[in-house]
Chains A and B, each alone.
Chain A
Amino acid sequence: MDHPGQLVQYVLTGLSNGAIYALIGFGFAIIHNATGILNFAQGEFVMLGGMFTIFILSFLNLPLIPAIMLAIIFSTLVGILFERLAIRPLKNVKPLSLVIITIGASIFIRGAAMLIWGKDTHALPAFSGSNPLYVYGATIMPQHLWIFGITIMIIIANKLFFSYSILGKAMRACAYNAHAASLVGIDVKIMVLLSFMVSSAIGSMAGIIIAPLTMTSYDVGIMLGIKGFCAVIIGGMSSGLGTVLGGLLLGLLESLGAGYISASYKDAIAFIILLLILFIRPEGLFKQKATQRV
């Protein structure tokens, strides 16, 4: 700990990565709560967000904002295709088959991205320049502020959507009891599709706002995906505050661990936390234990 600025820097990096993990975690929770599926391809949508934006910027020469919007639309379309082609046709399959299908989809999307965009690492330009601000001896990039701002906005929008909009309430009803929901006239299939759309949109957004800081390439999806999963496990599979806290906690531990213990074990820290949580409290840090129905 040579100077306090360093600590502030680690905390800042940790929090901004953590915010991203929380957003990715939301994507897992939304699909899981609507369908019981854990979408292993979640991380790929994060990758798609960043890669689509770069591709649109360089090939279509669009300005940044429209490019981002288009990229989110494209990623969402991939999410829709995925649901229609690989999830909806399935009827009473075992959980194991779903695991395998989403893993298949994940490596398929990754492979396709590699074929289309190559193996290079790309940088997305920062949203508003890269003149750092200095706070307590730590460097804050404007992009950090974008990350915090957008994450807070998504968290609020998410909360409003699920608590107040008819559609959001219908999705929650489905999550709680799909059969009962269908009896009161909710179209469960549409809700499932919607959950894939919302979660691929949020995932791609996460990928877009982090890309200027960390660079992106076809294979960033696995790591980001698993870390988002770690956040949502800590948060007990909710798309709410628990997962935000989970993400921030993970981001902080990771960045402090990398700073003060060893940078090369940064990823290992995240996975060890993941295993510990799964072993000790698989229901999350903030939830009560439930009895598995027999």
Chain B
Amino acid sequence: MIKEKRQILIFTLFALIVLLAPLFLKGSYFLNVLVFIGINTLLAVALNLLLGYAGQISLGHAAFFGLGAYVSGILTTRFPVDPWMALLAAALCAALLAFVIGFPILKLKGHYLAMATLGFGIIMYIFFNETVDLTGGPSGLSGIPNLRLGQLIFDNDRNNYYLVWVITLGVMLLSINLSQSRIGRALRAINDSEVAARVMGVNARILKVQIFTISAFVSAIAGSLYAHTMTFISPTSFGFNFSVELLTMIIIGGLGSMYGSFLGAAILTMLPEFLRVFRDFDIVIYGLMLILITMFMPKGLIGGLEALFKIVINKIKGGAQNVKR
């Protein structure tokens, strides 16, 4: 019970900081970066539901992100569809695809699942590139309209910031709720021992497909938000490299932690923005981080921070006792 209260407190604090941040950030460039961090956090949260909770890897999540972006982009540029409707259609489309391929793909385990999702991601990438009539092919799709609410148009960094972060915070809260529930426990049980989970009555097959579907749904929302805020999309944003980048985000941040997802997304989004040299070195550094963190810090930076926090607390407590004596 105390644990639950503490969680509510932490989330409220986090949400307050996020929502008040624009008041203190004057430069619009930084807000722009924060919009991207928001979208990447949303994606990392989506992947974390699948990998961090249920322990099922996906190396093709950029495909759902891309599908969301393209469905939204195509519906609003080639057909007179309202952007909000397009966003919904994009999310449902990705969810449907995930549901259909989920049954055969999630029967596979470990390495095989990784390879299959990787193959799926690359097939989708080829389609984004080759169906030129629909997607515009390698040269991309431009002129995607912004989202709007009545008079409010999401066409500047401040508005986009609130658009993206309100949705991201919402999804984070729902994911945190989920982890503390019957379903969250069943997912973590599958992660630890699928056989034992099934014997306890958890329908692992269905539950894995459900969480995969939800994860794709959320990823496609992120894709749609990306398309409507950028107004231009091209296939390079949705390839294998980006799937690996997403994986790196949640490994670095911490598997199973939604704040870890934010941390990972923030680091991976900011490093190339602010460190020029980083741009050429990015994949070398991602590779190294994946290896080192998996070997030495399996709970990611968030796990590391928590451990550090505990040590500090204990030191302070110890110190206080010494003073008393």
Contact = CB atoms under 8 A, between A and B. Distances in A.
A274 B115 contact: yes
A271 B60 CA distance: 13
A86 B295 CA distance: 8
A96 B110 contact: yes
16 contacts: A86-B291, A97-B298, A100-B57, A103-B59, A103-B114, A104-B288, A104-B289, A107-B283, A107-B284, A110-B283, A111-B281, A111-B285, A265-B130, A268-B123, A268-B130, A278-B116
A64 interface: no
A89 B291 CA distance: 12
Interface string A89-107: 1100101111111011111
A103 B244 contact: yes
A201 interface: no
B21 interface: no
A294 B107 CA distance: 16
Interface of A: 37-38, 40, 86, 89-90, 93, 95-101, 103-112, 114-115, 222, 226, 229, 233, 264-265, 267-268, 271-272, 274-275, 278-279, 282, 294
A108 B288 contact: yes
A96 B287 contact: no
Nearest to B130: A264
B45 interface: no
Interface of B: 51, 55, 57, 59, 104-105, 107-112, 114-116, 118-120, 122-123, 126-127, 129-130, 195, 240, 244, 247, 251, 280-291, 294-295, 298
A86 B57 CA distance: 20
A274 B295 contact: no
A112 B286 CA distance: 11
A96 B55 contact: yes
A97 B195 contact: no
The residue among B105, B289, B291 with the most chain A CB atoms within 10 A of its own CB is B291
B107 to A, nearest CB: 8
Contacts of A38: 110-112, 114-115
A107 B286 contact: yes
Contacts, number: 124
Contacts of B119: 226, 271, 274-275, 278
Given A96-B57, A108-B284, A226 B122 contact: yes
B110 A272 contact: no
Nearest to B55: A96
Nearest to B103: A279
Contacts of B123: 268, 271-272, 275
Contacts of B291: 86, 101, 104-105, 108
B57 A99 contact: yes
A106 B116 CA distance: 17
Contacts of A93: 294
A207 B288 CA distance: 24
A96 B130 CA distance: 33
Nearest to B296: A89
Contacts of B290: 100-101, 103-104, 107
A264 B289 CA distance: 35
Contacts of A272: 123
A268 B244 contact: no
Contacts of B281: 111, 115
Nearest to B280: A115
Given A96-B110, A279-B104, A101 B294 contact: yes
A104 B247 CA distance: 10
Contacts of A275: 105, 116, 119-120, 123
- Ranked nearest first, the 7 interchain pairs of A and B with the lowest CB-CB distance are A108-B287, A104-B290, A111-B284, A38-B111, A111-B283, A95-B110, A104-B291
Nearest to B127: A268
B108 A282 contact: yes
A206 to B, nearest CB: 19
Contacts of B57: 96, 99-100
Given A38-B115, A99-B57, A106 B287 contact: yes
Contacts of A40: 114
Contacts of B104: 278-279
A140 B104 CA distance: 41
A226 B284 contact: no
A97 B294 contact: yes
A105 B290 CA distance: 8
B110 A226 contact: no
A110 B244 CA distance: 13
Contacts of A271: 119-120, 122-123, 126
Contacts of B285: 111
A112 B55 contact: no
Given A96-B57, A99-B110, A111 B195 contact: no
A73 B105 CA distance: 38
A103 B290 CA distance: 8
Given A112-B284, A264-B129, A279-B107, 17 more contacts: A38-B110, A38-B112, A89-B295, A95-B109, A99-B110, A99-B111, A104-B287, A106-B287, A107-B283, A107-B290, A108-B288, A109-B287, A226-B118, A229-B115, A267-B126, A268-B122, A275-B116
